[in-house]
Structure 1
Amino acid sequence: MGAVFVGVRHHSPACARRVAAVIEEQRPAYVLIEGPADFNERMDELLLGHELPVALFSYSDAHASWSPFCDYSPEWIAITEGRRHGAEVRFIDLPAWHEAFRDVSNRYADAELRYTEVVDRLCAEFAVDNVDVLWDHLFESEDEPRGLDEYFDLLRGTATADAGDSAREEYMARWVRAAVEDAGDRPVVVVTGGFHTAALKARLDGGQNDGGENDGAGWPEVPEREKGASYLVPYSHARLDAFTGYQSGMPSPGYYQQVWENGSRQAADWLVESVATRLRRKQQPVSTADLIAAHTQAGALARLRGHANPARTDVLDGLTSALISEDLTQPPPWTRRGTLQPGAHPALVEMLGALSGDKVGRLHASTPAPPLVNAVQELLRTHGLDREGKVALDLTDAEALERSRILHRLRVLRIPGFERTSGPSAGGQPKMDEQWTLRPVDERLAALIEAAENGATLVEAAGVALERRSRNAGLDELSAVLFDAVLCGISSLSGEVQESLRSGVRETGDLGALGEVLSGVLGLWRHDRLFGTRRDPLLGKVIDAGTSRVLWLVEGLHGGPAPADPQRLKAMAATRDAVLHARTALSLDPADVAGVAIRVSNDAQAPPDLRGAALGLAWALGTEPDVRRVRGVEALGDWLAGLFAVAREEVLASPGLVGVLDELVSAMTEDEFLVALPALRLAFSYFPPRERETIAATVLAHRGVEGSVRGVTKLGVDPMVVAEAMAVERRVDALLVKGGLA
């Protein structure tokens, strides 16, 4: 009887019903489905009894992709109905790792970009906003949709298949020929995306020979791969939803689940009730009158638009009209495919939440899993990390350190349910303990299965994940990768990343990024007896290269007054620490560093914060500043921010300098003080509260005033509020003078 082709849109209830009806009517010998042919020998795994949605996850050396199934996926219905009617069910598409899928992360993604022109013409003809609304209008709102074949033929007739599409269609056509030949006088049902259906028909109807080595010689060979594997993973409606970023054929999986189970009329009622319930939980007012208005509006819109039952957008537009009285700050997301932008109306947020649904899939207990899953579960049991609650780790204890490394490896693999709340940080003070919060989450199994593409053991998988992060990474990310490798106890990665860092710091022109790297690497070099990187020679080379680069950059940095740059000041502070605490790693002589610092501090063209930081660096290296020269400083607040960032301790030990600074600030006019206030606040933020009290005591002594310093350092209101009040008072005084009322 030959092949019976059923073109579908992925994740469409209307297409799923059509597939079921065709299989019921035809009772075919074979049901052939667009899906990875390398999984055919394991087809029974799909039918173990999972709770959908689930996905078939495939990975190789360079690529990973998903083939997701939900209850109303036409491909899933083809599998289950085909088996129920005794047909041989087979996938007929190329494996996910094939070159044809190089740029495809989801097999069942929508190809609408390839036929934008015809979709735009159809949308204009039917006066709808986009392809999703068009599809609802033509098919999902109808009890018995017609014209699906004509729709798909029209789409393919205006589009050009790329090389990947052609390779896939050649391969699928060979499967269809072999099945038709083997089926004899029984039909073969072929279920593929509508974009491919017309091309497959043309290949078979025209007797086109695709030139494959198996044409006319039985079933096609399944290409083999050297590395990689395929596994089923739990999926969720949230991951399927086009409004959250997935390129699926259909958005709003929660809504279409209701359409599949109960029909579009009942789904409309469900959507109104769900949105109302969600809004009321968020303390948003929704009255019975609002709900009646929403139902009425949806019904009127459905009739006006010629729908047998209310379509998704009929209900959404009705809800918008009933619940949102003010102007919208952004178009409703169902008028275009995309995520909500910040500031969206609460009703829109809850509408999308209801549309998306909260269903999470579960795999049957007998489903095969990659070795990493069992390896991690065993590690968690062995080390007491398979429970819920808080975990405190003393990192000086060997067993606790090993538990920490396990948790960090899970963290870098992005396995959910393991959150570190405190612990060592890059560039921070040495910290010998960590706090973690552990909690069970539904997404953990899926994340572990997907992480298996990196390796079979936890340490191997974490190492590969870090190496991938380091490829083409900037300085900031390389430094973070290095620190994560240290926390994970992965020494094999560190050398490669350190060499990349060393090369990067020699070439960068980004002083802020350089400061972050130098600070982080210096912390590891100085303090890390705990993780084994203290005095590491490779880290020492990074410190040497980074310090030289900072000095080279700052000596040529010119520019007028500008707000103090905390990142730039961090680089200067890290340079100070490198010279003071990592002298054995440096090829520079401290006297040469001090010379550069003095030149920059005296450079009238250098930014004020950098001049202050350079003076602080020279001071920290033993060169006493000339207090008299401070009186000529411009942009005092920014200059002080630089000085305090680098020479905090020296300032505290210099009452004479504090006295001069007090005189300079006291001499400011109100306007000058208000302009300088943000920079002054930044400058004094480098001192902790106790040291600010020390400065206050020095100021009081300089003025010959007795009293409590705490009354000076603590205000009852925010200093910026005080500044704003002063500005208001100044404007009022000016108006009084102008009006002759002063």
Structure 2
Amino acid sequence: MTPRAPGAAAPSGGPLLLGVRHHGPGSARAVLAALEAARPRAVLVEGPPEGDALLPLAADGRMRPPVALLAHAVDDPGRAAFWPMAEFSPEWVAIRWALAHAVPVRFVDLPAANSLAMRERPEDGQDDGDLGIDPIGILAGTAGYDDPERWWEDVVEHRSQAGARTDACAPFAALAEAMTALREAYGDGGHPQDAVREACMRLRLRSARKEFGDDIAVVCGAWHVPALAARTTVAADRSLLRGIPRIRTELTWVPWTHRRLARRSGYGAGIESPGWYGHLFGSPDRPVERWMTRVAGLLRGEDMPVSSAHVIEAVRLAGTLAALRGRPAVGLAEATDAVRAVMCGGSDVPLALVHDRLVVGEILGEVPDGAPAVPLQRDLTRQQRSLRLGPEAEPRELELDLRKDNDAARSRLLHRLRLLDVSWGTPAAGRGSTGTFRESWRLRWEPELLVRVAEAGVWGTTVLGAATARAESDAVSASSLAEVTTLAEQCLLAGLPEALPVVMRALADRAALDADVGHLADALPALARSMRYGDVRSTGTTALGEVAVGLARRVCVGLPPACTGLDAESADLARRRLDGVHGAIGLLGDAVGADGLTERWTGTLRRLASRDTVAPPVRGRATRVLLDEGRATEEEAARLMALALSPGAPPAEAAAWIEGFVGGASGGGMLLVHDTRLLGLVDAWLTGIPAETFTGVLPLLRRTFASYEPGVRRTLGELVRRGPGPGRAAGGGGTPAPGFGEGLDEERADAVTPVVRLLLGLPAPEERAVAG
């Protein structure tokens, strides 16, 4: 006996096939009406059969959509797939109806064990977006619509409720007829797995009919309805399933978000407006008025002047637009246009907020504790609760004070998860103190992180154990010194004392074998920071300090030769390395074996500053560091600058020296403001550059001085204009600073006066005399 055509009245005509569009509120309402009218003995829903045991959880009051079935391979958790369901999903409505009426409900589709084994990419979904053709798009184009979403709204979402009560199955009959025509025209040109899936569906439908008879309702994608109604043999269907691969899988319910429903790739379901669809499903009466009220509330919360009059006018405009466009009811396009014109003043900026917060929305579903989960997930959930750090869909800024026990525990958890590639939190620049007792994080929970947690489960059953095992494995397999030093820093941040011995052995081995001074210089700052973190977090770092001091001494010996014969790019890298090493040595002052390290570093800086063969940016920065640390007097710094800016020095090299000395965030601008002697040297060199070479050094000079604050640049300009020195600012006759002229060059000033008058719109002196 073949399934009856959708909409047939006789219950003996075969199972009731309810073809739907996944995540459509109109389809969901139609499914609910059809189930209420037909009252089937069993309900079959498109989905993996392994999920049957999880269906009773949908009746749990703590289960709040959107949620998703997560299936992943036991031996390869990264191979996973989701079956998302929202409150307005027809499948979810069918499941809830069946559980509420004590009607057996089962999934009917290809098992996840087979679909995951057949899938090359774990992010391949099973919704309409995977079809080789877009049936909704074809139907919309045939009807003269250029937007499939708008066609679906007009034909299904906005159909009258009166029509639905007259014949609850009429929409499904129309969709089945349309899909049959499409499959006849285009063949079974869907997803490559469709033939196998549909064969499995037919076999499971036959099995259900043997158990319950023909009084069965099947809720599936509309595309599959013609295939389920087709006359086939059991042997033919089984032949399609013969030999398909299979892997061991585990399934559970996981929370989902509206934003994930809105994505068209990856794990998303491709719904452009889940927030709008949820509103339509939850507001059967006066949906437009309720929507405009929600929009007004959102905008008022952002201090925009929106009143009830705006709401009334927006509702009227939306209705007028729908009538002019020949639509049966107000759709999202009309509502959006009305909001833009009436509430947003024609601006798309507040409209983008409405789209993000309401049209898409950021609702995070909830799953009860009874849902299966890997042990690592259970431990993570327990810690989230104990630390009062629950997952949220909305981005959240978190400021931590590591002197507080709870904040320190939160920090360790977030760092351990990052080490496991579960990037729930991302370190951010803090708004408050910049000390090491403060940490700032940006938190955002994504459903995919549950897959990451499942993958990380291979390392252990607790977050601490898994992070420790992962750190030890990474230390052994690390191929460079920088990787191990970064890992040592992560271990201290994450509080992994058991992993540190393994990491330290790997660090000592890599440091002993690595002869590249650049690699040693790159590794040293991370080690020094790790020691500081150890002090803050009460972690022993004696072994770490010994390795760091040994690296620092090797850097002191090898850095000057490594800074010679460099091109511009390599010289800039060497300058940044010098800064990093200087900061690191400052943190190693109390480390074991660090006696005399500061003096050795001072000697290294002097060699870098005085050798002509060293790259100019490095020489300039070494000179500046010596001056700032009081290791060089102002006279010595001025002498080194004079040598670097002497007429015999190539202008490009001199400009690079200046950039190293006063460039970047080193506070060089204020140094020139307060030391007029150095400013005079720079000014004299700059004014003496030949015209033919000035253009070549100008970009470098612009980059150097553009980094200063506007106030600093303005002050420097004033000092250069009036010539800093005793008595000069007041117009006295004092001795000008080196590099500044003795007085005003009146001939040069007179040459630009006419141009300035023309720019300001002032009359020339002779014109003013005639007018007088």
Could you state the TM-score of these two structures normalised by the residue count of structure 1?
Answer: 0.67
Cα shift at 1:485 = 3.1
Residue-pair matches, total: 657
Q: Which residue of 1 aligns with 2:491?
A: 485
- Contact 1:609–1:643, Cα closer than 8 Å, also in 2: yes
- Contact 2:609–2:618, Cα closer than 8 Å, also in 1: no
The counterpart of 2:237, out of the listed 205, 209, 233, is: 209
- After TM superposition, list the pairs within 5 Å mapping 1:564-603 onto structure 2: 569-575=575-581, 602=613
Structure 2 counterpart of 1:572, which letter?
L
SS in structure 1 at match of 2:253: strand
Q: Does 1:180 align with 2:205?
A: no
Q: Does 1:294 align with 2:314?
A: yes
Alpha-carbon distance between aligned partners in 2 of 1:120 and 1:446, rounded to the nearest angstrom: 29
Cα shift at 1:12 = 0.8
Deviations 1:469-500 (A, max 9, x none): 99999999987665333311236777689979
Q: Does 1:642 align with 2:633?
A: no
Any stretches of 5+ residues in structure 1 without a counterpart? 216-220, 329-343, 688-701, 708-729
- Contact 1:478–1:501, Cα closer than 8 Å, also in 2: no
Alpha-carbon distance between aligned partners in 1 of 2:488 and 2:47, rounded to the nearest angstrom: 40
- Rate the CA distance shift 1:631–1:250 in 2: closer, same or farther, 3 A: closer
Deviations 1:312-354 (A, max 9, x none): 223223333444555x6xxxxxxxxxxxxxxx42134224422
Q: Which residue of 1 aligns with 2:716?
A: none
Cα shift at 1:11 = 0.9
SS in structure 2 at match of 1:345: helix
Cα shift at 1:301 = 3.1
Q: Which residue of 2 aligns with 1:630?
A: 644
- Rate the CA distance shift 1:287–1:384 in 2: closer, same or farther, 3 A: closer
Structure 2 counterpart of 1:174, which letter?
L
Q: Percent identity?
A: 24
Alpha-carbon distance between aligned partners in 2 of 1:379 and 1:288, rounded to the nearest angstrom: 46
Structure 2 counterpart of 1:612, which letter?
G
The counterpart of 1:17, out of the listed 11, 26, 29, is: 29
Q: Which residue of 1 aligns with 2:358?
A: 354
Q: Does 1:524 align with 2:553?
A: no
Cα shift at 1:52 = 2.7
Q: Which residue of 2 aligns with 1:715?
A: none
The counterpart of 1:259, out of the listed 275, 280, 298, is: 280
- Contact 1:360–1:442, Cα closer than 8 Å, also in 2: no
Structure 2 counterpart of 1:54, which letter?
V
- Contact 1:14–1:139, Cα closer than 8 Å, also in 2: yes
Deviations 1:335-383 (A, max 9, x none): xxxxxxxxx4213422442223465434446555554465356657888
- Contact 2:80–2:116, Cα closer than 8 Å, also in 1: no
- Rate the CA distance shift 1:125–1:641 in 2: closer, same or farther, 3 A: same
Cα shift at 1:601 = 5.3
Q: Which residue of 1 aligns with 2:416?
A: 409
Q: Which residue of 2 aligns with 1:82?
A: 98
- Contact 1:252–1:352, Cα closer than 8 Å, also in 2: no
The counterpart of 1:141, out of the listed 150, 154, 158, is: 158
Alpha-carbon distance between aligned partners in 1 of 2:370 and 2:363, rounded to the nearest angstrom: 21
Alpha-carbon distance between aligned partners in 1 of 2:139 and 2:377, rounded to the nearest angstrom: 48
Deviates more, 1:99-108 or 1:84-93: 99-108
Cα shift at 1:274 = 1.7
- Contact 2:129–2:269, Cα closer than 8 Å, also in 1: no
Cα shift at 1:684 = 10
Larger Rg: 2
Deviates more, 1:253-262 or 1:622-631: 622-631
Structure 2 counterpart of 1:89, which letter?
V
- After TM superposition, list the pairs within 5 Å mapping 1:297-696 onto structure 2: 297-323=317-343, 326=346, 344-357=348-361, 359-364=363-368, 366-367=370-371, 370-372=374-376, 375-376=379-380, 392-394=401-403, 405-406=412-413, 408-409=415-416, 413-414=422-423, 431=436, 433-434=437-438, 451=453, 453-455=455-457, 456-462=461-467, 483-490=489-496, 519-524=525-530, 528=534, 530-532=538-540, 535-536=543-544, 555=564, 557-559=566-568, 569-575=575-581, 602=613, 609-610=617-618, 612-613=620-621, 627=640, 628-632=642-646, 634=651, 639-643=657-661, 661-667=678-684, 676=701, 679-680=704-705, 682=707
Deviates more, 1:26-35 or 1:195-204: 195-204
Alpha-carbon distance between aligned partners in 1 of 2:382 and 2:279, rounded to the nearest angstrom: 39
Q: Which residue of 2 aligns with 1:42?
A: 54
Q: Which residue of 1 aligns with 2:733?
A: none
Alpha-carbon distance between aligned partners in 2 of 1:130 and 1:539, rounded to the nearest angstrom: 63
SS in structure 1 at match of 2:239: coil
- Rate the CA distance shift 1:63–1:469 in 2: closer, same or farther, 3 A: farther
SS in structure 2 at match of 1:255: helix
Structure 2 counterpart of 1:111, which letter?
G
Alpha-carbon distance between aligned partners in 2 of 1:359 and 1:32, rounded to the nearest angstrom: 28
- Contact 1:37–1:222, Cα closer than 8 Å, also in 2: no
Alpha-carbon distance between aligned partners in 2 of 1:385 and 1:318, rounded to the nearest angstrom: 40
Any stretches of 5+ residues in structure 2 without a counterpart? 4-14, 165-170, 391-396, 713-723, 730-750, 766-772
- Rate the CA distance shift 1:6–1:44 in 2: closer, same or farther, 3 A: same
Could you state the TM-score of these two structures normalised by the residue count of structure 2?
Answer: 0.65
Deviations 1:135-158 (A, max 9, x none): 213321212446322444466636
Alpha-carbon distance between aligned partners in 2 of 1:499 and 1:35, rounded to the nearest angstrom: 48
The counterpart of 2:69, out of the listed 11, 35, 56, is: 56
Give the root-mean-square deviation of aligned CA atoms. Answer: 6.1
Alpha-carbon distance between aligned partners in 2 of 1:291 and 1:354, rounded to the nearest angstrom: 16
- Contact 2:116–2:122, Cα closer than 8 Å, also in 1: no
Cα shift at 1:629 = 1.5
Structure 1 counterpart of 2:60, which letter?
L
Alpha-carbon distance between aligned partners in 2 of 1:475 and 1:150, rounded to the nearest angstrom: 66
Deviates more, 1:156-165 or 1:590-599: 590-599
Alpha-carbon distance between aligned partners in 1 of 2:553 and 2:194, rounded to the nearest angstrom: 53
